Structure 1
Amino acid sequence: MEISTREVFGAPCWVSLMTRDLGTAQHFYGAVVGWRFRPTRLGEAFSVAFQGRVPVAGIGALAADLGVAAAWTPYFAVDDADVAVDRIRERTGTIAVGPVSFDSGGRAALVADPDGAVFGIWEGNVEADWRVGRGPSPAWLELRTRNALDAAIFYGAVLEWATGRAGCCEVSYEEDQVVLRQDGEPVARLNSGPVEMASYSPHTRPRWHVHFRVPKLRPAVEAAVSLGGRPVSDVTSNALERWVTLRDPDGALFTLTTALGSDPD
């Protein structure tokens, strides 16, 4: 079942990985998070990851000679891609690609905020079952940037957060984080921290980061390491969950998380 982005405007509606070796990425994430893959109408260079019957993420192959780092990118729902792109330009963001029209009737653009964090916008239909924090979709999204409050102002203006419009996402400031909620449930966090604006390392520059839920943390990390991934952080925990950040074989960063109590290791 699909719904229009007009019904979930401003909310994250998809995540996508661009990588240099589609087959290696499919094998890696299939073993680590249990996904299966199906081709798309976009050709052999693209596939959709499924967990059970639910689509979870998109994976596409970068051209070998393209000097772009492999990375996960979140997409946010918008009413009108042209209007959103104009808002981004007006607020000193960058338009990398688009808006591009697809056979499905949707339109997308790949963009960056004023600090260089890359994200996408999507106008069209989205999977009704795809919802951050629920089911097999990402557990949550995180923006790591210089100033979370400044970032919230930018994204709020572009994506119509906290505007009072019926159905909009709400924003609050909690424990030194800006928290984005959709229908009262947290879907993204914006964090201030030490980032290097001129750095070519995706681990230190401003960026969006995706957290995927797994039943057991240790087996997932062991599978990742056995297939060429590597942890880049210690295992961390709070009152609710445990998590660790890794790089996949092509260098794309992501975090695995599991509910505290479900993973005694």
Structure 2
Amino acid sequence: MLNGNARAHGFTMTIVVAAAALLGLLTMATFHIVLDQRQRTSLIVDHALAQQAAEQALGAAECELSVATDTPTPSECAVALPQDRIVALNPVTLPGFVIGACGSGITLGLCRPRPDQSLWELAGLLDTTSLGVPIGLPAPTPGSERASARAARYVIEPIPDRWSGQIAQTGEASPPWLYRITAVGFGADPAVYVVLQTVFRPRVSGQTSTPQITIEPARPVSRPNHTVTQTIQTTRWTTSGDQQQVAETQTQTLKLGRLSWLELITEGTR
């Protein structure tokens, strides 16, 4: 039989082993908490870096469209575009946009997917090699040496612009198309990315007319609320014998430049 000292010693060892096991579990739990916190912090920093890069790409696209279409914007925009690029971005004839494709060279980043096509696959926006327009890598986040793993990039798509009261088909008097910009920025981990979208309306550059309709634009006006607007007068004509008569006149004041802002996708892992 065990004496009292032996039983006490065994009891003490049991307590020590249990305490050591408990301490080990607490240590492992603390380690996992610290590791999880570090991962969360890393994702937050990477998301901020990706957001900054995507916003810069979005701004670069808006600046390019502003210069190419002679559309005033509230912010400073000074970029020199080749004449071929300006022609490619014509918002009425859209010569740089081929249906079912994204351009390259002078038309790089100009996409016009068919309804059954995915812009992501067509442009390879999230891939190492992309048909988007790349911009320079943003500076590291203040207090961090982390830098984007990939250059931010953007693509531009034309979408129809139908303002209130406009007839569906106006022939040669068709208004400029809207431009939808999709921009993506990456974190230090390329699996962390932010995708932003805006819609950009270019100015109507001059009067156009057909026997049925006349569109007369006024000069764009910068407003105190940091927006730019343009007033458009649309006149519809009817023919009675050899005489043309005004059937209806409408006046619309349209906002130019950025019409919307949408964070389309934000991911931590992919």
Q: Greater share of helix residues, 1 or 2?
A: 2
Q: Greater share of strand residues, 1 or 2?
A: 1
Q: So what's the TM-score if we normalise by structure 2? A: 0.25
